[in-house]
C-alpha cells in the first residue's frame, strides 16, 4: 500500500512539512513581518492624524501670524477657504485636503506652526514668534542655497548684497570650526570662551539681526498699507 504523501509546501526548492520545526519557524517569521507592517501602518496613521489635527489648530491663528509662518501657498489658501465655508460636508472635505497638504510639510515648517500655536496660547506674543522664525530662516539660508530664493519671494525688499555676504561668511566660519582640531576646541572651553559663539562667529549673529530687521520692516510696511486702505474707506 503506497505511503500517504506528507502535507507541506516548498520554499526556494526546499520541501517544508506542515507541523515541522521549519514550518513553525517560517510561520513565526511571517507573523513577525505582519506585526511589523501593522505597527508601521499604525504609526503612519497616528502621524497623519496628528498633522491633520495641527492643520485644524492653525485656524485659531490670527491672519497676520498665519501669513508670517510662510506656509506653502496652496496650504495657506486652503486654510482661508475652510474659514469661508459653511456647509458641513464641504468643510469635512476641505479639512481632508488640508491634512493631505500638511503631510507634505518639511519638519521645520511643522515645528514653526507648533511654536506659533504654543506662543499664542501661552501669551508670549508675536515678537517671540518673529525671533524664532528669524532663527529658522538663518539656519535654512546657511544650509541650503535654494532657501535664498524662497526668502526673497517673501521679503523682496531685502538688501541682497549684505545678505549674500553674511551667508557666505557664516558658512566659512562654521566650516572652519568643524575642521578645528579637538585640542584647540578643548582649550577654548578651558579659557572660558562660549563654544557656540566661538564656532558660529559674528556673521552668524549679524545674519540673524538682518533677517529679523527685514521681517520687521516687511510687517511695518504691511501695517502701513492696511492703515492707508482703512483711511481710504
Residue 188 belongs to what domain range?
125-225
Residue 139: its pLDDT value, please?
A: 92
Residue 38: its pLDDT value, please?
A: 54
End position of a domain, from candidates 106, 123, 140: 123
Residues 150 and 106 reside in one and the same domain: no
Residue 60: its pLDDT value, please?
A: 83
Which residues share a beta bridge with 15?
10
Rounded to two decimals, the pTM is: 0.44
Residues 113 and 133 reside in one and the same domain: no
Residue 34: its pLDDT value, please?
A: 64
Residues 216 and 136 reside in one and the same domain: yes
Q: Give average pLDDT by consecutive 10-residue segment, the chain, 233 residues.
A: 62 73 76 60 77 88 80 90 88 90 88 83 67 88 92 90 94 82 50 49 90 83 56 52
Residues 134 and 202 reside in one and the same domain: yes
Question: Which residues make Cβ contacts (< 8 Å) with residue 81, sequence separation at least 6?
Answer: 94
29 inside domain: no
Amino acid at each position: 500500500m503506497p505511503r500517504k504523501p506528507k502535507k507541506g509546501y516548498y520554499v526556494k526548492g526546499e520541501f517544508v512539512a506542515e507541523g515541522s520545526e521549519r514550518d513553525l519557524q517560517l510561520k513565526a517569521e511571517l507573523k513577525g513581518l505582519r506585526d511589523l507592517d501593522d505597527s508601521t501602518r499604525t504609526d503612519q496613521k497616528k502621524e497623519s492624524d496628528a498633522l491633520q489635527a495641527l492643520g485644524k489648530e492653525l485656524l485659531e491663528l490670527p491672519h497676520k501670524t498665519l501669513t508670517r509662518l510662510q506656509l506653502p501657498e496652496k496650504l495657506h489658501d486652503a486654510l482661508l477657504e475652510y474659514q469661508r465655508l459653511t456647509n458641513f460636508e464641504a468643510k469635512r472635505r476641505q479639512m481632508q485636503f488640508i491634512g493631505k497638504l500638511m503631510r507634505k510639510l518639511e519638519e521645520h515648517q511643522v515645528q514653526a506652526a507648533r511654536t506659533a500655536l504654543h506662543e499664542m496660547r501661552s501669551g508670549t506674543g508675536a515678537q517671540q514668534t518673529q525671533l524664532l522664525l528669524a532663527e529658522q530662516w538663518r539656519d535654512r539660508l546657511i544650509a541650503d542655497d535654494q532657501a535664498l530664493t524662497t526668502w526673497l519671494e517673501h521679503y523682496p525688499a531685502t538688501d541682497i548684497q549684505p545678505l549674500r555676504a553674511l551667508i557666505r561668511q557664516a558658512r566659512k566660519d562654521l566650516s572652519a570650526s568643524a575642521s578645528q582640531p579637538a585640542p584647540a576646541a578643548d582649550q577654548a572651553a578651558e579659557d572660558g570662551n562660549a563654544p557656540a559663539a566661538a564656532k558660529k562667529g559674528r556673521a552668524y549673529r549679524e545674519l540673524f539681526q538682518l533677517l529679523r530687521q527685514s521681517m520687521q520692516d516687511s510687517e511695518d510696511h504691511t501695517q502701513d498699507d492696511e492703515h492707508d486702505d482703512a483711511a481710504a474707506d
